[in-house]
Structure 1
Amino acid sequence: MPTSQTVSTCVPEAEQGTHVFDIFGYSQHRGIGAGNPMISGKFYVGGPKWHVLFYPDGFSSSIERYQNCISVGLALASENVKVRASYELQLVDQSTGLRVPVYKAALRVFIRDDDSSWFTMLLQKRSVFETSTYLRDDHVTIKCIVTVIKEPMMPKTKPFPEIEVLPSNITEHFAKRLEENEGVNVNFSVGENFTVHKIVLAARSTVFKAKLYGPMREAGTSPITIKDVQPDVFKALLHSIYTETLPPMDDLEGDDHSEMICRLLVGTTLALADQHHCDMLKDACIKFITCSNAVEAVVSTQGYKMPKRTCPSVVIDALEKSTSL
């Protein structure tokens, strides 16, 4: 049953802006009364207008904790809007020029013409502030960083991304290395010379692994001689090892094609299976010989003649299997 898979993503969109409010002649602004702020110029963040508020005589004279304190606030100046925002207030150390964070407000809603249009924080006692390095030469610098969270856009639905996995072509690469004789390091003499990659043969065939790396491996750099195998059969065997496919046999027809298959797969495989005690493989070869319609083609191959001559027990096994069938 066909299925579909889609995906959509919702990511909050934020805009951040910074405003620096420089206040000169701080002492001359004293006495304007509690609740009366000095207002910065307007600045825009996220679309709406904002002001920084500085209360030199405190935010309120009726609330005890605001009395004799310096207060700073942020106000939304735009009308008929509702804004979700957070902000951070920093004071500049006038002796070093470094900005020191003094307050960080969490995300909240600002609404114009409402108590939610502004937000004020208590900075510190006036006596402490006026003896700090934040005030020097009657100069105060306030930095306000505002982050506005905008309404998320409607997510768009998209097809789920699919990554096309390319088919493996490692066997093509191996075949090309064999064809170009690049990096070959072992020689075989099979009626004619073949140069191949030792590691490939060992990785693909336990028989060749035993031959090339086992305790009975042949020393030196002389070609390894393989008898009773025709060159075209050995070439086809190498092609099969490197590519996991049989070589093209378009020029072979009928009996020639069957004979090539038998020479390539059965007789030699039977001999090697017996030689290296691969009992399951040997039984499979014997079963193929005794059950197939190609018995005559098999027994006529050089690959079959080798176990017949050197390992008569293999032939006896085949006869017993044939008799039982």
Structure 2
Amino acid sequence: MASEHHLIEIAASQIGCQMSFRRSCWSSNIGGCRCECDYTTNSSAGTVSLILCLSSGNTRAPLNARFKFSLLDREVRPVPCRTRACSFQNWSPHEGWEWVCSDFITREDLDRQKYLDDGSFTVSCDIAIKPFTAKATDAFVTVPPSDLHQHLGNLLACEDGTDVTFKVAGGGGTGTFSAHRCVLAARSPVFRAQLFGEMKEGKEAATGGVVIAVDDMEAHVFRSLLHFVYTDSLTETDEELEQHDGDGYMMTAHYKDLLVAADRYGLERMKLICQEKLCRRIRADSVARMLALADRHHCPGLKEACFDFLSSSTNLEEFIETDGFEELTDTCPAVLKGLLDKLATVLIFE
């Protein structure tokens, strides 16, 4: 395997230039392949995009490759929310290839001093290339991806063999849902304790199944929770609604409800997915409630994303004009103290 590591210095002053331009960062021959890296500025949008190009060098053999761009902070550590990766397999060099990381650096980053060092941004670029090796059996046997989630999803939908019923009544919606105790117990430690352990609850119905009341959760949230338990993914309806949610408020509230449900039943992966969704929906008028939610349900990633959002002076000014600051003072003083400590650190470096 051939690999290289490059550091790209981009002056902050170039983001505010009146003219857009494209500039070469470096070029190299890696693993028999010609590799070039450029960056472009967009004067009207105030952004910098990175471009990685591959072309045939002295090899015609198919290749596998991995690439990663990471924005580095003052301590030369990758910023997780500013890291992008890409990979491919069995690529033919003669076809040529280009990867564009659009808007990798934005005008708002000028306010985040922890990303700047002597007036410049530093971006790391990691590349690994190796020849593609096909196994002898590849031409004869093709193993499809696992479809276990589809079978379990169908089992939930058709309700065959169900032995527990949940009667959900909370908020503005009610519903009755049938499920399989073994599946629930295998996926959730809370369901396991509730159905088989010391927390065992519910009563036997006439049919021999167990009936459990859930009085403090809306039916559509519990339906999404069950779907994730069986398929390890959010529902297609959730994804469709997200694409058509104009102002974003409806889906933000929905993902908050899902995060609370995931935390309640110990579904850590679902909780992380909801955190990731909410991190992209932080606004000045919602960041206070996001911080309170993150603190209440132990979501360090969401809390750090909120702190990062408020490290921008523009976002901070908008936040101060809302009622969120007073809400944090009254309901989450410890979170407010953490926020002030973070902002103090940022101001020291400015």
Judge same fold: TM > 0.5, yes or no: no
Structure of higher CA gyration radius: 1
TM-score normalised according to structure 2 size: 0.36
* Bigger share in helix: 2
